[in-house]
Amino acid sequence: MVKNASRVAQVEMIKIIKSLALTGTIYGYLGWLYVILVNFLYPQWLELPLSHITLFLRTDIFGIICFIVSALCFFVYKLIEYEED
Protein backbone atom coordinates (compact mmCIF):
# COMPACT_ATOMS: atom_id res chain seq x y z
CA MET A 1 0.00 0.00 0.00
CA VAL A 2 2.82 2.42 0.88
CA LYS A 3 4.70 1.59 -2.32
CA ASN A 4 1.59 2.32 -4.38
CA ALA A 5 1.02 5.66 -2.61
CA SER A 6 4.63 6.73 -3.19
CA ARG A 7 4.35 5.75 -6.85
CA VAL A 8 1.17 7.83 -7.22
CA ALA A 9 2.90 10.79 -5.54
CA GLN A 10 5.88 10.41 -7.88
CA VAL A 11 3.63 10.36 -10.96
CA GLU A 12 1.80 13.46 -9.75
CA MET A 13 5.11 15.26 -9.14
CA ILE A 14 6.27 14.39 -12.66
CA LYS A 15 3.02 15.79 -14.08
CA ILE A 16 3.52 19.04 -12.16
CA ILE A 17 7.15 19.40 -13.25
CA LYS A 18 6.22 18.64 -16.86
CA SER A 19 3.45 21.26 -16.78
CA LEU A 20 5.74 23.87 -15.23
CA ALA A 21 8.44 23.12 -17.79
CA LEU A 22 6.02 23.52 -20.69
CA THR A 23 4.65 26.76 -19.21
CA GLY A 24 8.19 28.11 -18.75
CA THR A 25 9.03 27.17 -22.32
CA ILE A 26 6.02 28.99 -23.77
CA TYR A 27 6.30 32.13 -21.64
CA GLY A 28 10.08 32.29 -22.09
CA TYR A 29 9.65 31.99 -25.84
CA LEU A 30 6.98 34.71 -25.90
CA GLY A 31 9.21 37.06 -23.88
CA TRP A 32 12.06 36.37 -26.27
CA LEU A 33 9.80 37.12 -29.27
CA TYR A 34 8.78 40.40 -27.61
CA VAL A 35 12.43 41.48 -27.38
CA ILE A 36 13.02 40.46 -31.01
CA LEU A 37 10.08 42.62 -32.11
CA VAL A 38 11.35 45.55 -30.03
CA ASN A 39 14.77 45.07 -31.62
CA PHE A 40 13.32 45.41 -35.12
CA LEU A 41 10.76 48.14 -34.44
CA TYR A 42 12.45 50.29 -31.75
CA PRO A 43 16.12 49.30 -31.38
CA GLN A 44 16.84 52.32 -29.17
CA TRP A 45 14.59 50.79 -26.48
CA LEU A 46 16.90 47.82 -25.88
CA GLU A 47 19.09 49.79 -23.47
CA LEU A 48 16.13 51.14 -21.50
CA PRO A 49 14.76 49.50 -18.36
CA LEU A 50 11.95 47.03 -18.95
CA SER A 51 9.75 48.77 -16.39
CA HIS A 52 9.90 51.69 -13.98
CA ILE A 53 9.68 49.13 -11.17
CA THR A 54 12.67 47.06 -12.32
CA LEU A 55 15.26 49.67 -13.22
CA PHE A 56 18.06 47.10 -13.11
CA LEU A 57 16.44 44.87 -15.76
CA ARG A 58 17.04 46.19 -19.26
CA THR A 59 15.06 44.95 -22.24
CA ASP A 60 18.03 43.19 -23.84
CA ILE A 61 18.92 41.40 -20.57
CA PHE A 62 15.27 40.32 -20.29
CA GLY A 63 15.55 38.74 -23.75
CA ILE A 64 18.66 36.81 -22.73
CA ILE A 65 16.98 35.56 -19.55
CA CYS A 66 13.87 34.54 -21.50
CA PHE A 67 15.94 32.61 -24.02
CA ILE A 68 17.80 30.73 -21.27
CA VAL A 69 14.58 29.95 -19.37
CA SER A 70 12.88 28.76 -22.55
CA ALA A 71 15.80 26.50 -23.53
CA LEU A 72 16.20 24.98 -20.05
CA CYS A 73 12.48 24.39 -19.58
CA PHE A 74 12.20 22.76 -23.00
CA PHE A 75 15.13 20.50 -22.14
CA VAL A 76 13.43 19.43 -18.89
CA TYR A 77 10.12 18.89 -20.70
CA LYS A 78 11.69 16.68 -23.37
CA LEU A 79 13.75 14.80 -20.78
CA ILE A 80 10.62 13.92 -18.78
CA GLU A 81 8.72 13.06 -21.96
CA TYR A 82 11.57 10.75 -23.05
CA GLU A 83 11.65 9.00 -19.65
CA GLU A 84 7.90 8.32 -19.78
CA ASP A 85 8.22 6.28 -22.98
pTM for this predicted structure: 0.82
Helices (H), strands (E): how many in the chain? 2, 0
- Distance of alpha carbon 37 from its chain centroid, rounded? 18
Phi, psi of 49 (to 5 degrees): -65, 150
pLDDT at 2: 59
- Domain regions of the chain by residue span: 2-84
CA separation, residue 40 to residues 3, 5, 43, 44 (Å): 55, 53, 6, 10
According to the model, what pLDDT value does residue 6 have? 82
pLDDT for residue 1 is more than 80: no
Average pLDDT, the chain: 90
Pick 63 or 9 by higher pLDDT: 63
Express each pLDDT in 43-82 by its tens digit.
999 899 988 898 889 999 999 999 999 999 999 999 998 7
Look at residue 85 in the predicted model and tell me its pLDDT.
61
Say whether pLDDT at 84 is over 90: no
